[in-house]
Amino acid sequence: MKILIALTSALLLSLAAQGAGADIQFACEVESVQPGVPFTVGLHVLPQKNYHTYWKYPGIVGLPTSVEWKLPEGFHAGEISWPTPEIVDMSGHPAHGFRRELLLLVVITPPKKILTSTVTISGELAWMACHKECHPGFATRSIELPVNHTANPIYDRKWAAAIKRERAALPQECSLWKVSVESEADANPVVIRVKPSTGASKNPGQVYFFSEDGQITSEPAQRVHRQNDGSYLIRGTRSDFSPKGRTTLSGTLVASKGWAEGTPLPAFRVNPAYPSK
């Protein structure tokens, strides 16, 4: 707790340096909006050299990138689809984030009737970028798009392909490994078993579980032990701020050498249930 308070204080003291460390702009997969047809807007995150930004649950330190949308009447924005994170370092403390340039994808759904000839998609962005020190960033971004009443979408030449690649790389569910929670709800530590089935890699390398809702903290480090049957037991420390009473443990499992035999599969999403009492 003392470490978390000290790190939070350090972050607040850096407010004078707003915006340093990274820049975020909107990237849209289409050049125009069709009534009733969903489209994807990416938050294009471009960190400066040696800086990182943060995942949806940063761990012991950091703030996730967020957007507060300001959309035309009848438009709806979905949640951010988060890519696979990595372990990042902030002053010797591990956290969950991204060192790379990335696109955080959000699906926007327009109404079936649009009476204007153009629409403006706006949002207030907030993020944290860290290297040797941390810098929060705040910005309002917007894009204006014409309304297209034809049957065919018009894709953006620059961003449509990049958004497609980012979408294809998002962690999905996987049947090659059976994942179960061995500890009870709200218990500490949190114990996860990852057991292989047919087609699973015999040597996935280093294994790590990224907790999506903050049940497992990023420090101290997780302890991973391989069992005689080829399964892995992952023990993580429950966060002091863990939500209480959860019935499942959502997250992303990452393996440094991949989870599948002969096929790249660096990560997959899971949501195993806690054992019933």
Q: Are residues 154 and 85 in the same domain?
A: yes
CATH label of the domain that carries residue 239: 2.60.40
Q: Maximum distance among all alpha carbons in the chain?
A: 65
Q: Are residues 31 and 71 in the same domain?
A: yes
The answer, yes or no, to whether residue 43 has pLDDT greater than 50, is yes
Q: State the pTM of this model.
A: 0.91
- Mean pLDDT, to the nearest integer, of 51-65? 96
Which range marks the domain in which residue 10 is found? 2-168
Domain boundary among 124, 148, 168: 168
Per-residue pLDDT of 84-113, as tens digits, reads: 999 999 989 999 999 999 999 999 999 999
- Mean pLDDT, to the nearest integer, of 45-62? 96
Total residues found in the chain within this entry: 277
Q: Are residues 23 and 117 in the same domain?
A: yes
CATH label of the domain that carries residue 105: 2.60.40.680
Q: Are residues 161 and 183 in the same domain?
A: no
Question: Beta strands 118-130 and 76-77: pairing type?
Answer: unpaired
The answer, yes or no, to whether residue 20 has pLDDT greater than 80, is no
Residue spans of alpha helices (H) in the chain:
2-13, 159-168
Per-residue pLDDT of 116-158, as tens digits, reads: 999 999 999 999 999 988 999 999 999 999 999 987 889 999 9
The answer, yes or no, to whether residue 13 has pLDDT greater than 50, is no
Token pair listed for 91: 């002053």
Identify the weakest region by mean pLDDT among 148-152, 221-225, 230-234, 254-258: 148-152
- For residue 216, the cross-strand partners are 238
Q: Are residues 142 and 6 in the same domain?
A: yes
Alpha-carbon span 42 to 44, nearest angstrom:
6
| H or E, element range at 253 | strand 251-255
Q: Are residues 154 and 265 in the same domain?
A: no
